[in-house]
A and B are shown apart, each in its own frame.
Chain A
Amino acid sequence: MLLLSNSLTGCDLMFLAWNEIKKNKLRFTLIMGVLMLVSYLVFFLSGLATGLASLNREAVDKWDATAIVLTEESDKSLPQSSLTNEEVDAFKDNETAILGQLNAIATNGDAKQNISLFGIDPEEFIMPDVTEGEKFAGINEVIASDTLKEDGFELGDELELSSTEEKLTIVGFTDSARFNAAPVLYGELATFQKVKFGEGVAEDETQINGIVIRGDDLSSITTSNEDLEVIEVETFIENLPGYTEQALTLNFMIYFLFAISSVIVAIFLYVLTVQKISMFGVMKAQGISNGYLSRSVIAQTFLLAFIGVVVGFALTLISGAFLPAAVPVSFDIPTMIIYGVILIIVAILGAVFSVLTIVKIDPLKAIGG
């Protein structure tokens, strides 16, 4: 900030930077190209991270819930948790929704897909909005994630599930309904019970996997039952199998790319600066200050990084539009803008080496005195 705080206008600062870029188009296009490719990769990885995260969590996000109650022994795993309906009463001060969940393979005869079956009460808040078709009205009717349409499933399809004789019928589709990378089928709790336990299970023997709770804040949701655990929704998501490991891997790649782009810019600009030592020396001999020359280098870096990032951003969105639906990419524009700004900042940090070199240039030596 200190470097920018004087009476020079942006136009003055860009004067040397822009004229040099204009005169050496190939050289600077190459630098911009490298920055563009790095930003393209960062944006794409960020899209992949967001897409893969959505694949795991979008159904949970849609609940807009505060917490989920699971059994202590389940270790925060929904399929491993088993509660009775009566245990919901302990949380009646909050808005609650019961949830039964199981994983299965569903087939309509042609297509086959891993699914997650959610047994819910249609009167409670986790009941999804139907985007096509209608709500389930009876046992064995389900609302399916609309991603199943891309796999060849349609309204009216009769689904056979693995490990059960029960058949489910798709009566509607809903959006944003994937859980732990599997499309969700929403059905009545009775449907879930029939699939899980078979015919003839007594009403008082029914089990659910969890209680989803929407409250003012986490601290207001408590239980005296030591066998139960109140888990914040974000913690629940982080404990989904593979979720955290996957997010960390992709985020680490993005953070390394930030560091790499800074080093690339530093090397490029340093080499350019070393080539121009005598020119900077002449300018310093003429009385042009270190501040002006440093600001010019920073302005030039900003310009190169800005153009590179904007082109990388546009290319990412364009190529994203042509990707097959099977690629789990989802571009979150605010996150991409933040990453773009970070890329510009780390590029400018890379220019600091060049600035230090300029400050150290002795005009006398540079002009051969």
Chain B
Amino acid sequence: MAILELNNVKKSFGTGHKQVDALKETNFSAEAGELIAVIGPSGSGKSTFLTIAGGLQTPTSGGILVNNQDLADLNEKQRSKIRLKEIGFILQASNLIPFLNVDNQMKLLDNVKKDNMTKDELNALYENLGIKDLRKKYPADLSGGERQRVAIAKALYSKPSILLADEPTASLDSEKAYEVMELLKKETKQNKTTTIVVTHDTRLIEYCDKVYEMTDGVLELKEKPSKN
């Protein structure tokens, strides 16, 4: 069953001869446990696609179904609730709160949502991500790689059905970037999450189940190259 569906979604900015189609009519579907890459050059519409899929902006036309619930029917407050309940974000610049230590980054989510991971699940997640010794550290005390792993933990902590990652490896060296992709793959399979990674780094696609390419607002399913 599709967890996330985009049906005939289109996003345009401006009107008349100044109209720009950031996302041309797009159909997309993703199922539980799938790790999907959306690649393409800067300005191709990848981020527009991701933010529409995450309910951060509304499409000009078309429908977005998250667990069969159409985001187009919802107001901002309701979409905010869906984001909190169903969607985890990993952003290019990590989405950590500078004045909260790692444990408190998670505790913040406990304040706004109740059915998050249990203590044991969180410990296992920390273990998997290799950050269990960082729990009392603040974002400023962490390296780029550590920050991104904590950001992944934070995105997964609320047990989202969809994980949307915008250039999650942009600030990392190759080794750390592969590590992060490995972790995303592991968590996606283990928790049956639907993970969509938007990246311009084609080296990362080998970790993904499906690869889409975005060119000038047009999203196309690509044949995934073999590992060799």
Contact = CB atoms under 8 A, between A and B. Distances in A.
Given A12-B111, A15-B107, A287-B83, A20 B99 contact: yes
Contacts of B102: none
B56 A285 contact: yes
A264 B47 CA distance: 40
Given A15-B107, A287-B82, A289-B80, A282 B95 contact: yes
B134 interface: no
A285 B54 contact: yes
A283 B97 contact: yes
Contacts of A368: 92-93
A12 B87 CA distance: 22
A364 interface: yes
A367 B104 contact: no
Interface residues of A, number: 24
Nearest to B104: A19
Interface string B96-120: 0111100010011101110000000
A361 to B, nearest CB: 12
B212 interface: no
A19 B95 CA distance: 17
B27 interface: no
Interface string B29-60: 00000000000000000011011001011000
A369 B56 contact: yes
Nearest to A20: B99
Contacts of A12: 111
B9 to A, nearest CB: 16
Given A288-B84, A292-B111, A292-B112, A363 B95 contact: no
Given A12-B111, A363-B56, A23 B138 contact: yes
Contacts of B18: none
Interface of B: 47-48, 50-51, 54, 56-57, 77, 80-85, 87-89, 91-93, 95, 97-100, 104, 107-109, 111-113, 138
13 contacts: A8-B111, A19-B99, A23-B100, A23-B138, A279-B98, A283-B97, A285-B83, A286-B109, A287-B82, A287-B83, A292-B111, A364-B57, A367-B95
